[in-house]
Structure 1
Amino acid sequence: MNRSQEEARAAGLQLVQTPEGLALTDGTMQLIADYAHMIPRLKQGVLQRELLVRAARARGVEHPVAFDATAGFGEDSLLLAAAGYTVEMFECNSAISALLADALERAASDPRLSEAAAHMHLHVGDSIAGMAELVAAGTVPYAVYLDPMFPGRTKSASVKKKFQLLHHLEQPCADEAALLAAARATGARKIVIKRPVKGPLLADAKPSAQFKGKAVRYDVLAF
């Protein structure tokens, strides 16, 4: 049994191969990482209005690099990649990483997604150590993106039932100050932080700018 299967079973879940892709299941519900529903949001006129894209915009920079320290299923990374970033994604949970890798493989064969998917690179493991390793190897990001999971979000009524399966695997951010410090240490020119629209600041860091929607906001620390 590989590590991803072990992590899923430790949470009372299973990873199973289905005709649609790799699925996480509890025996009654299943969850597959898939980007097909994201395609309408990747059209240029729509994409440029995305709050994340506006918050992370790299003006006058060719081929910018972003680190997504909390990748999950990589949907936000997909938006950044479609907007011109090369995105280095970090996901510490092996089961979630397996689902993400499967989604990327299928996206690579879809002409509507393949260009963006080609600029998304998955790293399995702790993002604090992983970001430092990439910087040491010469990859310095223009932006670091943080979407940490917090305890208050796990009981949200807005979370679709099947996505609650992920809450058996994901753990709330244990040390938000350490995560933010690691992002700062990369030398990025921007740190973009996704928060509930009325949620507290991450580690009390005052943003340079905020981009607010109905349910979420993006706090931008610019350097």
Structure 2
Amino acid sequence: MAERALPEGLELRQTPRGLALVGGGMELVPDFEDMLPRVRPGALQRELLVRAARCKGAQDAPFLAVDATAGLGEDAFLLAAAGFEVLLFERDPVIAALLSDALGRARDAPAIAPVACRMRLAGSDSVEGLARLPRRPDVVYLDPMFPERRKSAAVKKKFQLLHHLERPCEDAATLMEAACAARPRKIVVKRPVKGPFLAEVKPSYQVVGKAVRYDVIVPAHP
């Protein structure tokens, strides 16, 4: 059970479908099998995140991506489906508990087990985690929570439960510095289409959709 006290009216409950966040007449049970339509051949390559994170060149080991702000892991699942080995960090213990349970079930589901087995929930503190990675990452992915996202009418009703838990990024500069210090080939930042640059770092290029954009920073390493 998560150590963080849940806001009034919310509870974590074990259900036949898996660990659920329950409150306000709603129930959220993350399930990576819901992602299957997005990772089918043809569909996956149209995902903006996959296009932004794509790396060139062959290597012996799979490309390594670090999702420093994992949430429920949907974006990390897309990266894993694209062939990345993905390390996930999630600071909120309640969300991390939901994510861990969903990953465990996914590894037992034949349709998605090969993807889920490339995903590992590595810890809660991504700043600390980025400083002790097993090897240099190819991609560091950042999707920090910002206050303006709470106002979005497009959010699915059941995911409104998460808005009681998610907290805005407290120190974007520290997060960006940690990402750069890990010396990845690129840093990919998810932003609202009209949102400011994270930590005022101008991207090398962008992949832009209707609702979101991905700022891609290619650090100049020695």
Distance 1:150 1:86 in 2: 27
Distance, in Å, in 2 between the alignment partners of 1:58 and 1:104 is: 25
After superposition, give the CA deviation of every residue in 1:149-180 in whole Å (9 maximum; x if it has no partner): 00111121111222111111111001111111
Shift of residue 9 of structure 1? 2.5
Deviations 1:32-69, CA, capped at 9 Å, x for gaps:
11112210111121111111001000111431101000
**Corresponding position of 2:34:** 37
Moved segments of 4+, more than 3 Å = none
Please state if 1:86 is matched with 2:85: yes
CA distance in 2, matches of 1:93, 1:180: 19
Distance 1:11 1:92, change over 3 A: farther
Contact 1:192 1:219 in 2 (8 A): yes
The answer on whether the counterparts of 2:7 and 2:164 sit within 8 Å (CA) in structure 1 is: no
In the alignment, does 2:17 pair up with 1:17?
no
Match of 2:64 in 1: 65
- Asked if the contact 2:9–2:24 (Cα under 8 Å) also holds between the matched residues in 1, the reply is no
Distance in 2 of aligned mates of 1:111 and 1:59: 29
* Identical-pair percentage: 58
CA distance in 2, matches of 1:10, 1:140: 38
Q: Point out the more displaced range, 158-167 or 178-187.
A: 158-167
Q: Shift in Å at residue 27 of structure 1?
A: 5.0
Indicate the SS of the match to 1:154: helix
Query: Which residue of 187, 205, 209 maps to 1:191?
Result: 187
1:169 paired to 2:165: yes
Determine the structure 2 residue equivalent to 1:146.
142
Which one has a larger percent helix, Structure 1 or Structure 2? 1
* 1:186-220 C-alpha deviation (Å, 9 max, x unpaired): 01010000011111111111111111111011010
Question: Per the alignment, do residues 11 and 110 of structure 1 end up closer, same or farther by CA in structure 2, a change over 3 Å counting?
Answer: same
TM-score, normalization by structure 2: 0.93
Q: CA deviation at 1:123?
A: 2.1
- Report the 3-state secondary structure (helix = DSSP H, G, I; strand = E; otherwise coil) of the residue aligned with 1:89: strand
The SS at the match of 2:51 is helix
Structure 2 unaligned blocks of 5 or more: none
The alignment status of 1:95 with 2:91, answered yes or no, reads no
Could you state the TM-score of these two structures normalised by the residue count of structure 1?
A: 0.93
CA distance in structure 2 between the partners assigned to 1:123 and 1:14 by the alignment: 24
Where in structure 1 are there 5+ consecutive unaligned residues?
none
Match of 2:72, SS state, is coil
- Shift of the alpha carbon at 1:7? 2.1
